[in-house]
Structure 1
Amino acid sequence: MSIIAIIPARGGSRGLPGKNIRELANKPLIAHSIINAKEARFVDRVYVSTDDREIARISLDYGAEIINRPHELANDTASSESALIHAVDTIAATGVAIDLVVFLQCTSPIRTGKDIDNAIRKLNQENTDSLLSVSPSHRFLWQETDGIAQSINYDYRHRLRRQDMEPQYVENGSIYIFKPWVLKELNNRLGGKIALFPMSEAASWEIDSLLDFEIAESLLKKQVTVNAY
């Protein structure tokens, strides 16, 4: 089985300029995802899709192969799926066989190569077509519609203890795996039979702000256990 990892990383970021190459625990943010992918025993090749020369340079330094993403696929309105389709087509055109794609977002640096291997193993063992990583949730959710508040995932009139609720999960954005046909036919990272890969809350940490960087730095420095939940 030929398994590739793709890490999309565009140069522009409205919320936090230069986010993908900002230092985190003495390494550029994107370096952590490259290292994670290269540590995974089941991943054969690691690609970074980018429109940015500095991201490309850093990614090469950490051992990734580069896919030059067109600028029209790297603006604020371009979807991750459009970048993934371009990357898969570009890789396939070089003659590389692809059985599975591991899609990693560089805003989720606190995963490990072992997490990736375990996710791949689960997809194969359960014979699914795609997989997403999740973190357990025990939150009581509400929504407001036309000024009326409604409980979503529980009945507030018969409140259960958190430990008695059915298991629920939050998509954490750390690991996605899919067979190429899922992306091609459905224009989506998920489809067919889908598997969930639970991860710890620490391993699920996403970076979108300066505060997120500070928390991730603390987690990495303390070497928090981030194996699957």
Structure 2
Amino acid sequence: MKYSFFIPVRSGSERVINKNTRDFAGVRGGLLGFKLNQILNLSDEFEIVVSTNDEECYKISNSYKGKFQNFKIIERSNILSQSDTPLKELILHAGEVCSGNSILWTHVTSPFCGPKDYIKAIQLYEEGLKENYDSLVSGRDYKEFLLDKKSGEILNNNSKLSWPRTQDLSDWFEINNAIFLTSRKNYKNGNRIGSKPVLHTQNKIVSHDIDYIDDFKIAEAIYDRFYK
């Protein structure tokens, strides 16, 4: 197996209650159902791994058995599902439960990162491997004013101007949490980004990440306007 898709979903989301399974623009199964429907058309050569401690997430995932050729639902321990669980522990978990040579970690809270985006990322990752890159992370280019809350200093001012134009700001890259792609070996060492990652730029809609209730509402509006 060359690639595993790792999809972590847990119970107890604090900022958006039942974020992964609550009604999302009328889509059955909420964000989890939306993501699983998205990747149904991916090649059978991919392994799909859902890791959860949530009974409803397990039930929704279980309804997709038979629709994927290579599909695993991992009953994650509650110890690995707390809000304060060190991320490294979950990364190590992904390395243990996935079978692919490389693992693509994605989130249901990135609903507009779909099959074409995943395939594009894999292509860029494979091209990068030929040039000694060892991983890929998705995000968007960031050229907005970023101030230090204590000093008021513009942190990304790369010019000698006290108040530069946005085009004069330093080139920054904001991780959007949609794709983390690297070898299973790196995951088993506790890393989902290697030492030399390809920085894969995505647009604002694809980069939309649901973390707060406003993000959820905006995502529903985007879905109704552009995807429904």
The TM tier, using the shorter chain, reads 0.7 to 0.9
| Structure 2 residue 77 is matched with structure 1 residue 70 | yes
| Structure 2 residue 142 is matched with structure 1 residue 137 | yes
| Structure 2 residue 115 is matched with structure 1 residue 108 | no
In the alignment, is the contact (CA less than 8 A) between 2:52 and 2:74 conserved in 1? yes
Q: 1:43 and 1:151 mapped to 2: Cα distance?
A: 47
Offset at 1:25? 2.5
Q: Which of residues 193, 206, 209 in structure 2 aligns to 1:206?
A: 209
Where do 1:147-166 residues align within 5 Å? 148-154=151-157, 155=159, 157=161, 159-166=163-170
In the alignment, is the contact (CA less than 8 A) between 1:104 and 1:175 conserved in 2? yes
Q: 2:44 and 2:155 mapped to 1: Cα distance?
A: 39
Change (3 A) 1:116 1:42: farther
Corresponding position of 2:19: 19
Corresponding position of 2:6: 6
Equivalenced residues, count: 216
Change (3 A) 1:160 1:183: same
Q: Which of residues 174, 180, 183 in structure 2 aligns to 1:176?
A: 180
1:160-199 CA-to-partner distances (Å, cap 9, x unmatched) read 43335453221111111111121222x1211222111111
In the alignment, is the contact (CA less than 8 A) between 1:4 and 1:43 conserved in 2? no
Offset at 1:37? 3.5
| Structure 2 residue 216 is matched with structure 1 residue 216 | no
The residue type paired with residue 78 of structure 1 is T
Q: 2:202 and 2:73 mapped to 1: Cα distance?
A: 29
In the alignment, is the contact (CA less than 8 A) between 2:96 and 2:188 conserved in 1? no
The residue type paired with residue 2 of structure 1 is K
In the alignment, is the contact (CA less than 8 A) between 1:49 and 1:83 conserved in 2? no
Q: 2:107 and 2:146 mapped to 1: Cα distance?
A: 26
Offset at 1:156? 6.6
Question: SS at the partner of 2:117?
Answer: helix
- Report the TM-score when normalising by structure 2: 0.85
Offset at 1:202? 0.8
Q: Percent identity?
A: 27
Q: 1:43 and 1:17 mapped to 2: Cα distance?
A: 34
Corresponding position of 2:193: 190
Question: SS at the partner of 1:182?
Answer: helix
Q: Which of residues 35, 52, 57 in structure 2 aligns to 1:50?
A: 52
Question: SS at the partner of 2:148?
Answer: strand
Q: Which of residues 107, 114, 119 in structure 2 aligns to 1:117?
A: 119
Offset at 1:43? 6.0
Offset at 1:205? 0.8
In the alignment, is the contact (CA less than 8 A) between 2:91 and 2:188 conserved in 1? no
Question: SS at the partner of 2:191?
Answer: coil
| Structure 2 residue 85 is matched with structure 1 residue 82 | no
Corresponding position of 1:29: 31
Corresponding position of 1:227: none
The residue type paired with residue 55 of structure 1 is C
Q: Which runs of 5+ in 1 are unaligned?
A: 225-229
Offset at 1:133? 0.6
Offset at 1:77? 1.0
The residue type paired with residue 67 of structure 1 is I
